[in-house]
Amino acid sequence: MSDIADKAALDEDKEYIFNKCIELASIKAGKDYGADYEDKLLRISSKLVTPGSRAKLELAVESFKRGWRAQEFALIRYEIICRFDGIEAGDVYIAENLGFPRIREIAFDRAVLSGNFLEAERHCTEALSDDKQPYGISPWLYRLFSLHEITDNTWKIEETAETIILSGDLDFYDRLKASREERGAWDAYYPELLEKCKLKLPAWQYMQILEKEHEYAELMGQVREHTDQIHNYGLLLVDKYPSEIWDIFYGQVYKEAESASNREMYRSVCTRIRRFAEAGYQTKAVGIIDDLKTKYKRKPAFVDELSRIL
C-alpha cells in the first residue's frame, strides 16, 4: 500500500488511498492474530492528507492515542501539525508530549541544532530520570556524553563516562582514563573508581578491568570466588600462582565433566584440559585424562574425545 501511495499521481487516486487506509485501520477483524497495522496505515494517509481531509485523519489518529503504540500516533500527529500549522506549532506540540521518548528525541535534536545546549542537557537528565527500561544502558546516557563532548566540558565528560562504565559499558574505560591522565588526575582517582566497579559491575566485567590494569592479586581473589573464570584467567595467573591455579582448574574441570552430556560439551572439557597441558601441566593433565576415561567409560563419545587430547 505504501508503494502504491508513493506512485499515485492523480488526485482521485490519492484520495482513494487516503480513505482506504483510514478504513482499513479501523477494521477489527484479524487483530486477534496480531494484524495490527493501524499506525502504518495512518502514516500512509498522512503522506496524502490535504487541508480538507486533515480533520478526518486527525479523528482517526485520536482514536488510537492510547495503548502500546501511542507514540507512533503522536508522531503522526506531530507531522500533520508541522505540515499545516508550521514548525512553531510543532514545537508547542513537542513541549506538551515529552513523555514520548521519540518526541523528546526530536526536542533534543532541535535544541542541539539551535545551540541551546542547556535545554538539550535538560532533556537528557529528565529522560534519564523517567527511564524505566529493565535492562541495558539508556541511549540518553550516550546522548548526554556526546553533548558534553560538543561543549568540551571535561568534568561532565568524565562524570558521564563513569556512569556509563558503571552501567556496564567498559568501552568508555580507556576514554575516561585518558582524560584523567591528561590532566594528572588518574592516580588519585583510580582506587576510588576500582572500588566502585567492584561494587557496581558483575564480577566478570570487574575482572576484565583487573586484567587490563594488571591487578593480579585481586584478580586471583576473584578467580577463587568465581571458579568458572579459571578458563579465562588461569593461564594469565599461572606463573604467579601455579599450585592454586591447578587446584581450581582441577575442581572446575571435574565439575564440567560431570555435567557434560553431548559431544560438543565433551570437546569443550577436552579443549580446556589441552590448554592447561600446553601451559606446563602435561603430566597432571595425563592423570586427569586417564581418570576421566575410567570414570566415564560408559560414555564412549567422551572417552573418544579424551583420547584425542594429547
Inside any domain, residue 102: no
Contacts 24+ apart (CB under 8 A), 200-205: 200/166, 201/166, 201/168, 202/168, 203/229, 204/229, 204/232, 205/168, 205/170
Host domain of residue 30:
1-97
C-alpha cell at 160: 558521564
C-alpha cell at 165: 562504565
pTM of the complete model: 0.81
Q: Are 303 and 266 in contact (CB under 8 A)?
A: no
Provide the pLDDT for residue 132: 65
Provide the pLDDT for residue 102: 92
DSSP calls for the chain:
-HHHHHH--SHHHHHHHHHHHHHHHT--TTGGGT---HHHHHHHHHHH--TTTHHHHHHHHHTT-SSTTHHHHHHHHHHHHHHHH-HHHHHHHHHH-TTSHHHHHHHHHHHHHTT-HHHHHHHHHHHHHH---SSS--HHHHHHHHHHHHTT-HHHHHHHHHHHHHTT-GGGHHHHHHHHHHTT-HHHHHHHHHHHHHHHS-HHHHHHHHHHTT-HHHHHHHHHH-GGGHHHHHHHHTTTSHHHHHHHHHHHHHHHHHH--SHHHHHHHHHHHHHHIIIIIHHHHHHHHHHHHHHTTT-HHHHHHHHT--
Locate cell 581418570: which residue? 291
177: closest CA among 218, 213, 141? 213
C-alpha cell at 56: 478526518
Provide the pLDDT for residue 215: 98
Inside any domain, residue 149: no
Inside any domain, residue 121: no
DSSP calls for 168-203:
T-GGGHHHHHHHHHHTT-HHHHHHHHHHHHHHHS-H
Q: What are the average pLDDT values for consecutive 10-residue runs of the chain, which has 310 residues?
A: 75 84 73 63 85 88 76 89 92 93 95 96 93 78 96 96 97 97 97 97 98 98 96 95 94 95 96 92 94 95 94
Locate cell 566502585: which residue? 196
Inside any domain, residue 195: no
Provide the pLDDT for residue 268: 96
Inside any domain, residue 162: no
Provide the pLDDT for residue 131: 73
Provide the pLDDT for residue 233: 97
For residues 250 and 230, give the distance between their C-alpha atoms in angstroms, rounded to a whole number.
Answer: 10
Question: pLDDT per residue over 250-300, tens digit each?
Answer: 999 999 999 999 999 999 999 999 999 998 899 999 999 999 999 999 999
Inside any domain, residue 295: no
205: closest CA among 240, 164, 146, 247? 164
Provide the pLDDT for residue 31: 53
Provide the pLDDT for residue 34: 47
Inside any domain, residue 14: yes
Domain count, the chain: 1
Provide the pLDDT for residue 33: 45
Inside any domain, residue 2: yes
Provide the pLDDT for residue 30: 46
